[in-house]
Amino acid sequence: MDRIRPVLWGFFVLFLLYSPAKAEDQSVIDALVVFMDRLVPGSMQTTPGWGWNTSSDPCTSKWVGITCDKDNKTIKKIILEKFNLSGTLDFESVCKVNNLLVLSVSFNNITGNLQQEVSSCKRLTHLYLSENRFLGSLPDSITDLPNVKRIVISNNGFTGQLPDFSRLTSLLSFFAQNNQFTGPVPPFNYRQLDGFSVANNDLSGPIPDDTGRFDANSFAGNLQLCGKELAVQCPVKKSNKKSKLRDFLIYSGYVVLVCIVLVLIAILACKKTKKHHRDVKTRSSVKNGSDSGRSSGSKNSRARSEFSTTSVESGGVSSSMVVLSSPVVNGLKFEDLLRAPAELIGRGKHGSLYKVRPDNGVPVVVKRIKDWKISRDEFKKRLQKIVEIKHPNVLPVVAYYSSKQEKLLVYEFQQNGSLFRLLHGSQTGQIFGWGSRLGLASSIAGALAFMHHELQADLIPHGNLKSSNILFKDNMEPCLSEYGLMSIDHHDQDLTNDRIPTTATFKADVHAFGVVLLELLTGKPVQDNGSGLAKWVSSVVQEEWTIEVFDRALIVEGASEERMVVLLQVALKCINTSTPPAMAEVAAMISSLNEEEERSMTSSDP
């Protein structure tokens, strides 16, 4: 017996060592079994490999409906669609799965109310409950899900008012059509949503969406809703008579006070004028003739634009205006710009943009840069180098002017606008599909690589690349605008010899181009330097939900997901590495991708 005992202990130790370990905690497994029992799976329990028992592991035993991470250590998704489940949904149990990202129980017969415990699923990104028989109101705690991106609760029996979803900054789509919700449509972050519908409920009041991104179909079937997108317009609110009277009295008081102040100022000015008149009375007759001549000239002069006139009044302006060879500005002088009316069309951190139409001329765009610490000679050399380098996708400077106070650059006006306006501006019905976006990316990458190569020795990058500086010519061919006008922070300026700081290298252009690629792929506008968009894209990709990154318009179009992913990888290389690829390498990769797309389109034609 003494000899047998060590052998038994050996077998026991081997059993412990080689028996499959459970990836999930036993408490999580027990909770999941309770969760499934309350869903009443019925005959589904006889399905081969069903699992859902306390003696096996959800990941290593591959329970039906369970998807784990690539290491089979933790549950990521629970998808139980079309299983004829007829019980209730127990969030208290299922939310014990700490890393749960997706929960879908659509197309079943689940009943009952949603529990407040839904907010315990802190990492949940996708919640699909459509095509069931849920009842009652939606719990307010659903708006406490910090990471949720998709909520689909359509085709159920939900009642009551919808909670305020404006706190969900990560929400991308919300579908709640074909329920019995009442009350007003709550506020959402409509500008970031790519899908939305509350159609066929009993909602009432005005539509809060002021972006116009969603048409009447998203709100149809709610007879008491009103808004600009619907046939029923909201009534104009009538102001209260008492409120009107109160406002009238307040404004009247302001008017009386202003009048008193003006009278006092007028009295003081009158006294000073009389005193001054007495002092100069003896000299007025001598100067009268010359003064009247000046006065007549000023009356006939035209109104000037918003540009500085300091240099004009000191003389010698025409020689300071450098007009390059272009039929658009043939014979243009600086005085012509000053006299012409100027329309402000953009204001940036370091300058403003004006649309100017000189006399008997075509409109031009004037970039005005103030307080740029660069000498006139350096500025002239810089412009001459850029002008010498010509590329069809780079908008040339046609004239420039430099003074101590400001710099002006003149470009041809491009009436088709910018990439930013095409992506995010008002919808004009113009299609900007995947092929056009990829072609634009290839053209701009090629132009930028060419300029980098030609101007590398002079250390002149673009310096301010963004979607608003990518314009469209008459044939909708894209072109880079404002090349070489670097956006310089004052604390970064190196004033030695009035030179531009060498810290602004070509790497910044590559990073900025990566942000433009993200803008093209996601359809989302860029704020600041694009760090927020880049961070969001990186987080979505890390969660293995790359498809969620892409613009919904591209998905609906049926664009090649494989090629979109490749372009996304190029964008991430540009922005996420300390040593980004050279622009020539980026241009080559995108050009190859564009050629592949064109071959695909050609081969698919009948």
Span 125-138, average pLDDT: 93
CA 512, 514, 520, 525 dihedral sign is: negative
How many beta carbons lie within 10 A of that of residue 126, not counting itself?
21
**Cα–Cα dist 230/207, whole Å:** 9
Span 356-369, average pLDDT: 80
Q: Is the pLDDT of residue 237 over 70?
A: no
- CB contact set of 533 (below 8 Å; sequence gap of 6+): 515, 518, 519, 522, 524, 526, 527
Q: Where are the domains of the chain?
A: 19-226, 305-413, 418-606
Span 280-308, average pLDDT: 38
Share of the chain above pLDDT 70, in %: 75
Vertex 297: Cα angle to 294 and 301 (nearest 5)? 135
Question: If pLDDT is split at 50, 70 and 90, which confidence band does 309 have?
Answer: very low
**Cα–Cα dist 550/556, whole Å:** 10
Fold of the domain spanning 305-413: Phosphorylase Kinase; domain 1 (3.30.200)
SS3 412: strand
Question: If pLDDT is split at 50, 70 and 90, which confidence band does 256 have?
Answer: low
> What DSSP character marks residue 239?
P
Question: pLDDT tens-digit profile of 512-540?
Answer: 999 999 999 999 888 767 788 888 888 88
Q: Is the pLDDT of residue 272 over 70?
A: no
> What DSSP character marks residue 482?
S
Question: If pLDDT is split at 50, 70 and 90, which confidence band does 194 have?
Answer: confident
Pick the closest to residue 565 from 525, 524, 527, 521 (CA basis).
521
**Cα–Cα dist 574/520, whole Å:** 14
- CB contact set of 167 (below 8 Å; sequence gap of 6+): 143, 144
**Cα–Cα dist 120/485, whole Å:** 51
How, if at all, do strands 202-206 and 180-183 pair?
parallel
- Do residues 403 and 308 lie in contact, with contact meaning Cβ atoms separated by under 8 Å? yes
- Do residues 23 and 59 lie in contact, with contact meaning Cβ atoms separated by under 8 Å? yes
- Do residues 157 and 135 lie in contact, with contact meaning Cβ atoms separated by under 8 Å? yes
**Cα–Cα dist 545/349, whole Å:** 36
Beta bridge mates, 157: 135
The answer as to CATH 3.80.10.10 being correct for domain 19-226 is yes
How many beta carbons lie within 10 A of that of residue 506, not counting itself?
22
SS3 70: coil
Span 424-431, average pLDDT: 62
Span 71-99, average pLDDT: 91
- Do residues 24 and 68 lie in contact, with contact meaning Cβ atoms separated by under 8 Å? no
**Cα–Cα dist 477/419, whole Å:** 11
Question: If pLDDT is split at 50, 70 and 90, which confidence band does 14 have?
Answer: very low
SS3 100: coil
- Do residues 158 and 134 lie in contact, with contact meaning Cβ atoms separated by under 8 Å? yes
Radius of gyration of the chain (CA): 34
- Return contacts of 503-507, CB within 8 angstroms, 24+ apart: 504/461, 504/463, 505/459, 505/461, 506/452, 506/456, 506/461, 506/582, 506/583, 507/580
- Choice among 8-22, 169-183, 215-229, 448-462 with the minimum mean pLDDT: 8-22
pLDDT value of position 154: 94
Question: pLDDT tens-digit profile of 461-512?
Answer: 988 899 999 999 887 889 999 888 764 343 333 333 333 334 357 888 999 9
Question: If pLDDT is split at 50, 70 and 90, which confidence band does 295 have?
Answer: very low
**Cα–Cα dist 181/200, whole Å:** 9
* Whole-number Cα distances in Å, 483 to 285, 337, 411: 57, 22, 11
The answer as to CATH 1.10.490.10 being correct for domain 418-606 is no
- CB contact set of 433 (below 8 Å; sequence gap of 6+): 553, 554, 557, 559
Span 321-338, average pLDDT: 68
pLDDT value of position 493: 37
Span 10-28, average pLDDT: 57
